[in-house]
Amino acid sequence: MATLLEALDRQDCQDAELLARCWRALGGEVGFDAHCTELVAAHVALPAKERTKRTGDDLKRRLQALSRTVRGAEPKRAWAAKLLVAFDGKENFKTNKGDIVDPAAAWLRQQAEPKDGKPGK
């Protein structure tokens, strides 16, 4: 399984279901959470010129796909809350038009703290 995961990483695999299955097979839910947190941390660590609305939207789509592998409202809410911590006060970034909220952070907040008590889409 580890060699499969290495091959998927080399090929920059975007298949969320396959990646989630591999991450869970190797490390259980803790491994899955760790890999998801790494995705968010890598995005937050991008240099200012590279962290854009587009990269935020890309991460948001990837997280949405990964969230579909988390079963149940409470586990999904807890997962989103863990990932939101990785933003650690860096939810906003500067653009030519001023500060904006990172789309991935906004989506995670919506999942972790839904207004109606149910995670959104």
Q: Which two tokens stand for residue 112?
A: 């972790």
Return the pLDDT at 12: 80
Q: Which two tokens stand for residue 89?
A: 């006060």
Return the pLDDT at 32: 95
Return the pLDDT at 63: 97
**Residue at token pair 């998927």:** 8
pLDDT digits 0-9 by tens, 11-28: 788 888 988 999 999 999
Return the pLDDT at 74: 94
**Cβ atoms within 10 Å of 48's Cβ, excluding its own:** 9
Q: HEC string of the chain?
A: CHHHHHHHHHCCCCCHHHHHHHHHHHHHHHHHHHHHHHHHHHHHCCCCCCCCHHHHHHHHHHHHHHHCCCCCHHHHHHHHHHHHHCCCCCCEEEECCEEEECHHHHHHHHHHCCCCCCCCC
Return the pLDDT at 1: 66
Low-confidence stretches of the chain (pLDDT beneath 70): 1-2, 5, 117-121
Domain segments of the chain as ranges: 2-112
**Cβ atoms within 10 Å of 78's Cβ, excluding its own:** 15
